[in-house]
Amino acid sequence: MKNITVLLLLFALPVTSFSQSSVKVKEVTLAMSKGTNNGFEVEIPLSNAKEVARDWKRRLTAGSKAKLTETNGEIAMHGWEDKEITQNLFNLYSIISSTENGVKLTVWFTYNDTTFFTTKSGKADATAASRFVHDFGAAEYFLAVKNEHQKAREKLDKLKDELEKNVRMEEKANQVISEDKRAIARAQDDLATNDNDQKEATANIATQQAEVTKARAGNAAVYSAANKSLEEQQDEKKKLQSRADDLHRKIDNWNKEIAAEGKNVATAKQAETQATDAITKQKLLLKDLEAKLKTIR
């Protein structure tokens, strides 16, 4: 209903409203159900044949008592009335077909199915008929461009969302990289402390081993205490070594994660560049479509 309302509003506009439109009507002599006759043809860029046919039928039947018929793709109205064209009833035949760039509408007007309207006759009805075809074509072109503009706007919004998504992905990856680097720095500090602790433990163990050797020939209780202290020191050194091994594994994992997130950053940056380029092109397309809309109106 919205499209039809727009159509009716456009039909109500004076002819000068479409004076800058790229839609042009030409007279043609083509075969139709009543032979080969003079008609009026308009090409409507960007349009869809099914949608144009729908709107054309609605235009012809709106407020009309005449019956619409369709035979072998030819749409006809017999005893049709449009006082903007002529005060008399007339017959109208039309064919809608798809083209490479849109849709072609060919329309034939006649009072008696023998003599068909032509501007060569110099009669006002033929000029009015040509204007009628032109106005419908311009209205359809306007709707087609408006539809393309809407789709282009929606695509632009999606591209902006995609750009924002990749920016967030890059930020998240960089955050992980920063956190991992800080974790590695802390781990390396812990390893340095751990290394000093292990050196100290090694020295203490050597000293304690001497004490054990010394106590072996003496009092059994002293020897047992010295040996127990040695075992405790050796256990403590093993814990330090295990802690160091764990820190090295964590550093390896953090470095792997940094490498993986680095790839994510590169992927995100590439996607951002592509999205930015696409957004620029899409904005140019929107600008072109907006210019077309202004030209048609």
pTM of the complete model beyond 0.75: no
Q: Where in the chain is the domain with CATH 1.10.287.620?
A: 154-296
pLDDT at 10 over 50: no
CATH topology of domain 2-150: TATA-Binding Protein (3.30.310)
The pLDDT tens digits for 206-255 are: 999 999 999 988 889 999 999 999 999 999 999 999 999 999 999 999 99
Instruction: Provide the token pair at 53.
Output: 């046919």
Round the average pLDDT of the chain to a whole number and report it. 91
* Region 84-112 average pLDDT: 96
The rounded distance, in Å, linking the Cα atoms of 49 and 200 is: 89
Backbone angles phi, psi at 75, to 5 degrees: -95, 130
Domain with CATH 3.30.310 in the chain: 2-150
Task: Please give the residue that has the higher pLDDT: either 28 or 11.
Answer: 28
Strands (E), 33-155: 35-45, 68-71, 74-80, 90-98, 102-110
For domain 154-296, say whether CATH 3.60.15.10 is its number.
no
The more confident residue out of 9 and 198 is 198
pLDDT level of residue 295 (50, 70, 90 thresholds): confident
Q: Is 60 exceeded by the pLDDT of residue 19?
A: no
Question: What's the pLDDT score for residue 218?
Answer: 85
